[in-house]
Amino acid sequence: MLSVLSIKLRRLDLPPSICINLVNFYHYPDLTMTPEQSYLSAKNIPPRRRLIFAMDVPSPEEAKKLAEELGDSVEFYKLGLQLLMADGYRDLIRWMRARGKDVFVDLKFFDVPQTVASAVKQVSESGALFATVHGNDAILEAAVKAKGPLKILAVTALTSLDRADLDSLGFQANVEDLVLSRARRALEIGCDGVISSGMEARALRENLGEKLIVITPGIRPVENRQEDDQKRVMTVEDAFRSGADYIVVGRPIKDHPGFASPKEAAESIQTKIASIFG
């Protein structure tokens, strides 16, 4: 739900970046309006739901055990390909939903449009909130038509890719231009949001305002950043200041370096988010 101030500003037909700055100043008057803070999300999302935990474990049984250990420190879970290849993926979605958790189905659907539409319809009926789709306009259009209450997120450029990877794949545009181009097309087609590195989130907000949900993976808390396969990473604070609505965190919580447990690591991130959004 938009704030009254947001609605009034939209009626004035001001540029998106100005509207965002004014909304942030109204809601967060204690913040100095530096460039790093200009794109703080104005969407009405409960702060603790802005953290999405990537549940990358081999089986639903392990997922349930970890979810129970995390308790109320995590309210939103991303379920991906590893769990899909184990028995009980849909049952796990239902189990999560029965406990009041939101679910993000991250399977990056990429196939002929009719097949993607059928898969999206199945996900929509499962009770999940978000699903990712990866592909051309026809694939995205099919997903949007079939989505029902489900929110479709278009994949822009994986955070495991850098400039050299894009060169090897034949993309001549730089990463920011590629992400912005794909985000614009996703918005025109009717997608609800995009998956984007925090390094490109600022450009999305500058050009598209608050129109799209921006979910940023590759989050590495500054005090325990690890060397891994994520190349375009960002800290919790920087991701949100750059315009992310949600962040996805996996290994820093599951492996919990520097913390006694996954729950303690998740709560540390939740404390940072609370300090940002109040």
Question: Lowest mean pLDDT: which of 87-101, 164-178, 197-211?
Answer: 164-178
pLDDT at 225: 46
Per-chain mean pLDDT for the chain? 83
Give me the residue spans of the domains in the chain.
1-38, 45-277
For residue 125, pLDDT over 90 is answered with yes
For residue 28, pLDDT over 60 is answered with no
pTM: predicted TM-score of the whole model, two decimal places: 0.80
Q: What's the pLDDT band for 94 if we cut at 50, 70, 90?
A: very high
Q: Which residue has the higher pLDDT, 232 or 141?
A: 141
The per-residue pLDDT for range 259-272, each reduced to its tens digit, is 999 999 999 999 99
Catalytic residue positions? 108
For residue 121, pLDDT over 80 is answered with yes
Q: What's the pLDDT band for 164 if we cut at 50, 70, 90?
A: low
Domain 45-277 has what CATH class? alpha beta
For residue 52, pLDDT over 90 is answered with yes
Both tokens assigned to 139: 């694939």
CA 185 to each of CA 15, 117, 140, 151, 253: distance values in angstroms, whole numbers, following the listed order: 20, 18, 9, 16, 34
Q: What are the contacts of 144-150 at 24+ separation with CB within 8 A? A: 144/189, 144/190, 144/191, 145/117, 146/116, 146/117, 146/118, 146/120, 146/121, 147/120, 148/121, 148/124, 149/124, 150/120, 150/123, 150/124
pLDDT at 167: 57
Distance CA 200, CA 208 (A): 12
Distance in Å from the first CA to the final CA of the chain: 17
pLDDT at 278: 79
